[in-house]
Chain A
Amino acid sequence: MTKLKQLRPQLLALAVVLVLIGLISPGFFSVTVQNGRLYGSLIDVGVRVAPVALLAIGMTLVIATKGIDLSVGAVMAITGAVAATLVADGHSVPVVLAVSLALGLVCGIWNGVLVAFLDIQPIIATLILMVAGRGIAQLITGGVILTFNDPAFSFIGSGAVLGIPMPILIWLAMGLAVGLLVRRSALGLLIEAVGINRRASMLVGVRARFLILATYAISGLCAAMAGMIVTADIHGADANNAGLWLELDAILAVVIGGTSLAGGRFSITASLIGALIIQALNTGILMSGWPPEFNLIVKAVVIVAILTLQSPAVADELSVLRGMLRRKGAKS
């Protein structure tokens, strides 16, 4: 139950956002079953959040080590381009999946080597791939939007199992897998140790370099999955726009989830809730019928509000206030 208590601010924020959207557009919560598949705005939020949610899983681990991965959007574009090329060439789905995931892993390891072994600051190390990656993706697709028609591969993006759309299953499964991996072993603790003080953790024998490399590798893997979902969903690879600026949304999701950019304590669940908040906002604004020009403003204002409430300075003030109230209560 302590776990739930820690998640309270994020759950509260999500609830407030959902209720507000519900008030504006009453049809938001209705979920129906058509053709053996769940439909409704709420389900739509779950499907559309998939790329950001996947990125946020890897990003959480990277940020916990005091790093940041700006390249995930570009990695999405690269893996999407490769996947589309392979599918268009008639390769089978397992081959496409294996090659794309391996490619994401390679991209992640490249970042990880730069950060962990060459000691380059994460923001600049991953900036390299962020800048060059989209160019590479363009070279792969030859500068056109590659389209394909392959129901088996498209299943990843638009299929459903037991009525639940595939993207939801994928991000839930990945979140669960990574969450269990780091929390049911000492890995999570070690990652936090590296993020809080890398030198100290190395002195007590934590293999910090390897752990950091691993977090970037996982981030690359997550980006590859996100890239394939987007590609499968639109039946094509758009090297220009696939995953564009999603790294920023993923970082925001992690920050809203309460993981500090200074590294240390992290929660994958909280990051996923953060991603849901962002997506609910996007969908909600669209459904509200406001002109789309308002999207960014509303998003920015809500995010600033959430972050302000979580900021160290305000948190200190609040805890002082709470302490004063408690003392007053004890006296009377």
Chain B
Amino acid sequence: MIRARYLPFVATVLIFVVAYALCALQFPNMLSFRVLGNLLTDNAFLGIAAVGMTFVILSGGIDLSMGSVIAFTSVFVAVLVRAGVHPALAFALALAVSTSFGALMGLTIHALKMPAFVVTLAGMFLARGAAFLISTDSVPISHDFLKQLKGIYIQLPDKGKLSFLAILMLLAFAVGVILAHRTRFGANVYALGGSEQSAELMGVPLRKTMIQLYAFSGFMAGLAGLAYTLYTSAGYSLATVGVELDAIAAVVVGGTLLTGGSGLVLGTLFGVLIQGLIQTYIVFDGTLSSWWTKIVIGMLLFAFIVLQRLILLVSERRAAIRASSGG
């Protein structure tokens, strides 16, 4: 018997498998390692960002600054590389900036007792503004180091490739799973999401966890920015507007409760893959407007939320019956 709290995750995986099977029935070509590899590569930056978002949402918070931080990182790196800085150094600098930016937001949320929504909203404006300040043009970059990075891949059967970006995303998810389920930090985040007050009474260091949490989310946004830079070979300050919403949608479709405290990091991977699958299907079909992506994601969101409500209701009722029969 599957436990009720894992039901949303199981449902997500099932939906992905069934949807992929349906797509493959209509377009047999979709059932190939090549399409699967591209699915992972094309959604790599979204997936990496979504790992950070999963933690923030598990804690009961939200990070609206992600799309802007991704754009900032990509412009920052592009301009540094154009100025002659080695990409590896530029990457490290960008990650340091995005991580400290996240930590600062976490500190602000805790110290000023302001809602995460408002603080990260201001962060969103600030990061986007900073990106504009650096450059409003699309800055192309090319460097041997970047070419080498892009040259790394694992060969899959029938000309499929697990590209560097796809590997990076899968690694990010692996780190996320370990952090969430095998470390004190992960336990603290779940506790915070369950109830901030109880968490504090239990001895969870609120301030430290909050700063670590948003620093982690900032780091992941920075990493997503690097992935985006590699993916497009350019930095553009107007790019990735609204990625935070896609990430939130992926997290929710992946079965994480938006009130926090319940969910699996791995579910988010499937949330991202479902979004990618819809886009791939639209590309294969060729006649559908790309706007159907948004509408289908909206409908999926709705279906998942209703499913979660039902599960909650059923488990509450079961608990009530147990309580009444026991007493």
Interface residues of B in 201-253 (CB under 8 A from A): 245, 248-249, 252
Within 8 Å of chain B (Cβ to Cβ): is A9? no
**Contact in complex: B294, A300 (CB < 8 Å):** no
Within 8 Å of chain A (Cβ to Cβ): is B297? yes
**Contact in complex: A313, B129 (CB < 8 Å):** no
Nearest CB on B from A220, distance (A): 16
**Contact in complex: B298, A135 (CB < 8 Å):** yes
Given contacts A119-B309, A299-B129, A303-B125, 14 further A-B contacts (CB under 8 A): A118-B306, A123-B258, A124-B258, A124-B305, A127-B248, A131-B249, A131-B297, A132-B299, A134-B291, A262-B115, A293-B129, A293-B132, A300-B126, A307-B114
Task: Bin the interface of chain B by size.
Answer: 35 or more
Complex interface: stretch among A93-101, A164-172, A247-255? A247-255
Chain A positions near chain B (C-beta within 8 angstroms): 68, 114, 118-121, 123-125, 127-136, 138-139, 143, 248, 251-252, 255, 261-262, 292-301, 303-304, 307-308, 311-314
Within 8 Å of chain A (Cβ to Cβ): is B133? yes
Complex contacts, B293 vs chain A, CB 8 Å: 135
**Contact in complex: B128, A296 (CB < 8 Å):** yes
List 27 interface pairs A-B (beta carbons < 8 Å), by A numbering: A114-B305, A119-B309, A120-B305, A120-B306, A121-B258, A124-B301, A124-B305, A127-B248, A128-B302, A132-B298, A132-B299, A143-B291, A248-B64, A248-B121, A251-B117, A255-B118, A294-B129, A295-B129, A296-B128, A297-B126, A300-B125, A301-B126, A303-B122, A304-B126, A307-B112, A311-B113, A312-B112
**Contact in complex: A131, B245 (CB < 8 Å):** yes
Q: What CA separation (Å) do A299 and B125 show in the bound complex?
A: 8
- Sorted nearest first, the 5 A-B pairs with minimum C-beta distance are A132-B298, A296-B129, A135-B294, A297-B129, A300-B125
Interface string of B170-203 (1 = CB under 8 A from A): 0000000000000000000000000000000000
Of A68, A127, A139, most buried by chain B (CB within 10 Å of CB) is A127
Of B64, B117, B291, most buried by chain A (CB within 10 Å of CB) is B291
Within 8 Å of chain A (Cβ to Cβ): is B62? yes
Complex contacts, B298 vs chain A, CB 8 Å: 128-129, 131-133, 135
Complex contacts, B130 vs chain A, CB 8 Å: 297
Nearest CB on A from B274, distance (A): 13
Q: Given A131-B249, A311-B114, does the pair A294, B289 have CB atoms closer than 8 Å?
A: no
